[in-house]
Structure 1
Amino acid sequence: MVLLLTNSQHDTTPESVMDWLSYYKQDFKRLHAENYSNWDLKNIKKVSTVWFWRWGFVKGLPQATVVDNEKNIITLNDNIRDENKMLSQYFMYLLKSKNWLSHPSSIDVNKLIVLDEAKAVGFNIPEYKIINSKKQLQNFKEEHGRVITKSLGNTFPLSSRECFTMFYTKEVTNIEAVSSTFPSSFIQKFIPKTLEIRTFYFNKEIFSMAIMTPNSEVDHRKYSKDLRKVPYQLTKEVEDKIHLLMETLNLETGSLDFMLGQDNLIYFLEVNPIGQFSMVSEPCNYFLEKKIALHLKTLHEKKH
């Protein structure tokens, strides 16, 4: 059996891979972080291969809502998340002898370490600094001109009954409105671009797509409906660096973000170990869903 581990039942990306698994008559089961604790662990014996696709360690158990004060709610929910994390880790431990596509131990990457490793293999990296005061921010901006900020961690959307909030890369403009000190933040030099490049790395193959964006825009995700996306061929030199970086990071799969600057240089931005392959596959007809299904099929057959 092929076991698919996903974040929630609302994540539709794995469904295209499941369709191909069905086409190839593969036995599979999908579990997500919200319901895995209800699965009979005796079924683990039937599992040959595991595909780790987004798994919310902080989800799966209900949160507390009826407590005497807000501070206690936060503390109790932190305890619940810790309990669930322990359960999730044990569940992964029970699957340790299986064939894996993307193991949880290798996908929790640190963006700052990734930037260091990317620079070490020869990628161009826009200048950046970790800053926690207005004075530092002013100095960095005076040195580099336009600057941007983005999250260091894997942020999750904020939602309520009234709104849904995403975290985007944003240009820092009104410094006067910034407090004198603030939590440590990632600040990076703004590079005027010709286009953005999204690359999906899978099984030592590289699939790239160019995203045509307005030169002045910082984050293409805010304008996804108006973008032109076409297949893109990176140079052998850049692809060799990608192979070296992914091997260094011990990543079998991942989405890498680059941009082509107006200075005609390719800049490395980041790598997401669990990237949205469908956004590269569909516009470029790469059929990555089929390739992933075939790879899972091969892993399954190796166990038999």
Structure 2
Amino acid sequence: MILILTTHGDHSTDQTIDWLTHYKAKYQRININDLLVDQTISYKIDSTQDEFTINNKSSKDFTVIWFRKSGVFRSSYLMLKSKSILKDQLSSFLSFEYAAFVQSLKISFKNVTWLCDIESVEALDKTKQLILASKAGLDIPKSLITNDKNCAAEFVKKLNGKSIIKPLAESEIFNAGDAKYSISPKLLTQIFFKALKTKKFLPSLIQEYLDKDIELRIFFLDGDCYAMAIFSQLDNQTKIDYRNYNFDKPNRYVPYALPTTVIENLKCFMRDVGLNTGSIDMIKTKCGRMVFLEVNPKGQYDMLSNPCNYFLEEKIAKSLINKLN
């Protein structure tokens, strides 16, 4: 049986499950962020056995696991509405408890085949990605991680006074009433450093600004690359990052044929990071460089499946079914 670890409302999961149903595959879907609400879990451990059960199904019943998304922790499910001075600390503690539980999942499932191995995902960060991508033969942007104003300013100066600053971890979306705020890559110039009063700041990732021709979103699945070109440079709103979506005038998306050398280098990179699937971001510059930016093991793929007619949801379903054999 196939176990799908995902989140409530993930449209990509829904469409893939439609194909699993079509092919009459047996599966169990677990929305991880609903584990505290409508799922029944237990992990029995003693000197003779250890057995994990989810909704009365034993971990031994599953031979293939798709780690689609890990979800978010919702402290409100466990915490009473209170103005206690310990509310923030308690929420933090519960978050760590939830993370520890997710960690236990990988221990409880033995002799299973993963689509998106949970251990590889947890061990992956942007620094490791850049190092391994370079070793795999991929071109990467010049990068600096620093907490020092002078060091950062000197780095940007050598890059003709213009660079990009981005989060070291995954970007977050923050809710404030009806408004939503996100942290995304921003243009960084010498003007910023002149206005910056502090000499130290939280360690940040700074990369060279790439004068792009197109952005590339590539979905990797079991050694195959499905690429899409995004003409984001034609819109000032999406020029720095296509994820600053212009919903009134969306970017143009078209299928793209990657050079064979890039495909082989991507295969090498994904093997080195221990992933058999993921959404890869690259840039083709105006001077012809094909630059690797990052891979998101749990990134969206329907955004290129539909415009490019790749039918990735069916391909993922078939991949899961094939792994049963």
- TM-score normalised by structure 2 residue count: 0.86
Quote the residue 2:50 is aligned against: none
More moved, 96-105 vs 180-189? 96-105
Cα 1:10–1:179 change in 2 (3 A) is farther
The structure 2 residue matched to 1:274, chosen from 281, 298, 301, is 298
More moved, 141-150 vs 84-93? 84-93
Q: Does 1:202 align with 2:221?
A: yes
Cα 1:223–1:91 change in 2 (3 A) is closer
Structure-to-structure mapping, 1:20-39, within 5 angstroms: 20-36=19-35, 38-39=39-40
1:268-304 deviation digits (Å, cap 9, x = unpaired):
111111221111211111111101101111223x2xx
Gaps of 5+ in 2: 42-52
More moved, 288-297 vs 138-147? 138-147
Partners of 1:99 and 1:23 lie apart in 2 by 22
Amino acid aligned to 1:39: T
Amino acid aligned to 2:84: D
CA contact (8 A) 2:165 2:206 kept: yes
Amino acid aligned to 1:278: D
Quote the residue 1:242 is aligned against: 266
Aligned residues: 298
RMSD of aligned alpha carbons: 1.9
Deviation at residue 14 of structure 1 after TM alignment: 0.3
The structure 1 residue matched to 2:135, chosen from 112, 120, 125, is 120
CA contact (8 A) 1:122 1:241 kept: yes
Deviation at residue 224 of structure 1 after TM alignment: 4.6
Quote the residue 1:66 is aligned against: 82
Amino acid aligned to 1:230: V
The structure 2 residue matched to 1:49, chosen from 36, 39, 64, is 64
Q: Counterpart of 1:29 in 2: which secondary structure? A: strand
Amino acid aligned to 2:126: K
Partners of 1:122 and 1:288 lie apart in 2 by 27
Partners of 1:218 and 1:281 lie apart in 2 by 23
1:246-282 deviation digits (Å, cap 9, x = unpaired):
1111110011111111111111111111221111211
Q: Counterpart of 2:10 in 1: which secondary structure? A: coil
Quote the residue 1:220 is aligned against: 242
1:209-244 deviation digits (Å, cap 9, x = unpaired):
100122661101113542011110111111111111
Gaps of 5+ in 1: none
Deviation at residue 59 of structure 1 after TM alignment: 4.6
Amino acid aligned to 1:106: S
CA contact (8 A) 1:5 1:54 kept: yes
Q: Does 1:104 align with 2:118?
A: yes
Partners of 1:26 and 1:233 lie apart in 2 by 32
Cα 1:263–1:190 change in 2 (3 A) is same
CA contact (8 A) 1:33 1:60 kept: no
Q: Does 1:129 align with 2:144?
A: yes
The structure 2 residue matched to 1:179, chosen from 197, 220, 239, is 197
Q: Counterpart of 2:306 in 1: which secondary structure? A: helix
Deviation at residue 66 of structure 1 after TM alignment: 1.7
- TM-score normalised by structure 1 residue count: 0.91
Partners of 1:100 and 1:54 lie apart in 2 by 13
CA contact (8 A) 1:57 1:85 kept: no
Deviation at residue 60 of structure 1 after TM alignment: 7.4
CA contact (8 A) 1:198 1:209 kept: yes
Q: Does 1:92 align with 2:106?
A: yes
Deviation at residue 179 of structure 1 after TM alignment: 3.4
Partners of 2:156 and 2:283 lie apart in 1 by 21
Q: Does 1:254 align with 2:254?
A: no
Quote the residue 1:162 is aligned against: 178
Quote the residue 2:157 is aligned against: 142
1:143-190 deviation digits (Å, cap 9, x = unpaired):
112111111112321112131112211101441332322111111110
